[in-house]
Structure 1
Amino acid sequence: MVNILPAKEIYLQGNEHALLLLHSFTSHTRDMKKVAAKLHEEGYTCYAPLYRGHGNAPEQLLQYNVYDWWQDVMNAYQFLLDEGYQKISVIGISIGGIFTLKLAQLEQLEQIIVLSVPVEKEPEQLKQRIMDYAYNYKNIEGKSALQISNEIEPFTNMPLDSFIAFQHFIKDTMLHLNKITIPIAIFYGERDEDVYAQSAETIYQQVQSSKKKLKGFANSKHLMTLGRDQEDIMKEMMEFLRMNNGDLTQ
Structure 2
Amino acid sequence: MKKGFGFVIKILPAKEIYLKGDNHAVLLLHSFTSHTRDMKKVATELNKTGYTCYAPLYSGHGQTPEQLLQYNVNDWWQDVMKAYQFLKDEGFQKITVIGLSIGGIFALRLAQLKKIEHVIVLSVPIDRDPERLKKRIIDYANNYKKIEEKSALQISHELEVFNQMPLDSLIKFQEFIRFTIQNLEKITIPSAIFYGIRDDKLYSISAYTIYKNVNSSEKLIKGFKQSKHLMTLGKDQIEIINEILDFIN
TM-score bin (small chain): over 0.9
Q: Does 1:143 align with 2:163?
A: no
**Alignment-derived partner of residue 3 in structure 2:** none
Equivalent in 51, 57, 64 of residue 71 of structure 2: 64
**3-state secondary structure, aligned to 1:133:** helix
**Alignment-derived partner of residue 130 in structure 1:** 137
Structure 1 residue 2, shift from structure 2 partner: 1.3
**Alignment-derived partner of residue 47 in structure 2:** 40
**Alignment-derived partner of residue 245 in structure 1:** none
Equivalent in 173, 178, 181 of residue 174 of structure 1: 181
Question: In 2, Cα distance between the equivalents of 1:3 and 1:150?
Answer: 19
Where do 5+ consecutive residues of structure 2 fail to align? 1-7
Question: In 2, Cα distance between the equivalents of 1:136 and 1:117?
Answer: 23
Equivalent in 199, 202, 206 of residue 195 of structure 1: 202
Q: Does 1:28 align with 2:35?
A: yes
Q: Does 1:6 align with 2:13?
A: yes
Q: Does 1:220 align with 2:227?
A: yes
Moved segments of 4+, more than 4 Å: none
**Alignment-derived partner of residue 244 in structure 2:** 237
Deviations 1:199-244 (A, max 9, x none): 00000000000000000000000000000100100010000011xx
Equivalent in 22, 28, 35 of residue 15 of structure 1: 22
Question: In 1, Cα distance between the equivalents of 2:95 and 2:245?
Answer: 15
Question: In 2, Cα distance between the equivalents of 1:77 and 1:90?
Answer: 9
Where do 5+ consecutive residues of structure 1 fail to align? 243-250
Q: TM-score, normalised by structure 1?
A: 0.96
Alignment of 1:149-164 (within 5 A): 149-164=156-171
Q: TM-score, normalised by structure 2?
A: 0.97
- Give the paired residue count: 242
**3-state secondary structure, aligned to 1:209:** coil
Q: Does 1:75 align with 2:82?
A: yes
Deviations 1:99-125 (A, max 9, x none): 000000000100010000000000001
Letter in 2 for 1:167: Q
Q: Tell me the percent identity.
A: 68
**3-state secondary structure, aligned to 1:7:** coil
Letter in 1 for 2:208: E
